[in-house]
């Protein structure tokens, strides 16, 4: 028999981030939730150049213990930056890697695969930008996926939790940033699509 008052968990939500400070705030909130949940230590980020992925990572890393000693930047050229946080943070950026299925994993060193497979409380926090370039079969069952959507103003993000631990992270995050949660969907306009298109590449852009 089902319990009379089943626990409600959040598996997906959309967030509207009006400005830069809101992106940092979301990152700080995710830091607290992820640090408290050893079973969900993978954060996958998908979005166009300049979407705000690295800004979110900066807010997240700086909010973790030890984050004040970290210099957060996009690891586009060296693929991975390691930050001396607790838990340790591995920040990957797969933008420069081949887009063919599985090619990103082949080019990235084995450390990424090892990190994705590692379980337990000592596991590092793994953040991957341009995560759509990873094959699905290497992803851990518990993970949080953030996707930046086309938006005319500010930023619009969908967050999807895969697995129970990730759902607890998303629940905790949703409670802390309830004012940012929205029922909006992405506008479908030529201008918005153009701003998110991979063809609009600029190696100096802040991802």
Per-residue pLDDT, 186: 56
Residue 30: which of 148, 132, 171, 157 has the closest Cα?
171
Domain membership of residue 138 (yes or no) is yes
Domain membership of residue 118 (yes or no) is yes
pLDDT digits (tens, 9 = 90+) for 107-131: 555 778 788 887 765 578 999 999 9
Distances (CA, A) of 17 to 22, 41, 109, 158: 5, 23, 34, 11
Domain membership of residue 150 (yes or no) is no
The C-alpha angle 57, 67, 40, rounded to 5 degrees, equals 55
- Between 137-141, 154-158, 187-191, the lowest mean confidence (pLDDT) is in 187-191
Domain membership of residue 205 (yes or no) is no
Q: What is the CATH number of the domain that holds 76?
A: 3.40.50
Domain membership of residue 120 (yes or no) is yes
> Could you give the CA distance from residue 196 to residue 5 in angstroms, rounded to a whole number?
42
Answering whether pTM is above 0.85, one says no
Residue 127: which of 72, 202, 176, 177 has the closest Cα?
72
Structural domains of the chain, count: 1
**How much is the mean pLDDT over the chain?**
81
Per-residue pLDDT, 5: 42
Domain coverage including residue 34: 25-142+156-196
> Could you give the CA distance from residue 58 to residue 56 in angstroms, rounded to a whole number?
5
Peptide bond just before 186 cis, omega within 30 deg: no
Domain membership of residue 69 (yes or no) is yes
Domain membership of residue 17 (yes or no) is no
Retrieve residue 87's tokens. Answer: 């838990």
Place of tokens 């079969």: 137
Q: Which helix (H) or strand (E) holds 57?
A: helix 53-63
Residue 115: which of 78, 79, 88 has the closest Cα?
88
Q: Where are the beta strands (DSSP E) in 136-197?
A: 143-149, 155-162, 181-182
Domain membership of residue 130 (yes or no) is yes
Contact 24, 57 (CB under 8 A): no
Place of tokens 């996926």: 145
pLDDT digits (tens, 9 = 90+) for 85-112: 998 999 999 887 655 555 555 555 577 8
């Amino acid at each position: 028999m089902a319990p009379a008052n089943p626990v409600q968990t959040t598996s997906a939500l959309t967030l509207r981030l009006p400005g830069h400070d809101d992106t940092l705030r979301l990152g700080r909130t995710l830091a607290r939730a992820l640090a408290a949940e050893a079973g969900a230590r993978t954060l996958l980020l998908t979005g166009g150049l300049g979407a705000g992925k690295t800004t979110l990572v900066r807010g997240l890393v700086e909010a973790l213990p030890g984050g004040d000693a970290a210099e957060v930047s996009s690891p586009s050229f060296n693929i991975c930056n390691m930050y001396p946080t607790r838990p340790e943070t591995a920040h990957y950026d797969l933008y420069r890697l081949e887009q063919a299925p599985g090619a990103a994993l082949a080019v990235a060193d084995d450390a990424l695969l090892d990190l994705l497979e590692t379980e337990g409380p000592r596991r590092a926090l793994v953040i991957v930008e341009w995560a759509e370039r990873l094959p699905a079969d290497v992803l851990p069952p518990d993970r949080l996926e953030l996707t930046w959507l086309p938006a005319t103003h500010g930023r619009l993000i969908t967050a999807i939790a895969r697995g129970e631990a990730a759902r607890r992270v998303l629940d905790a995050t949703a409670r802390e940033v309830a004012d940012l949660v929205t029922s909006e969907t992405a506008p479908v306009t030529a201008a918005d699509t153009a701003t998110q298109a991979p063809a609009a590449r600029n190696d100096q852009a802040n991802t």
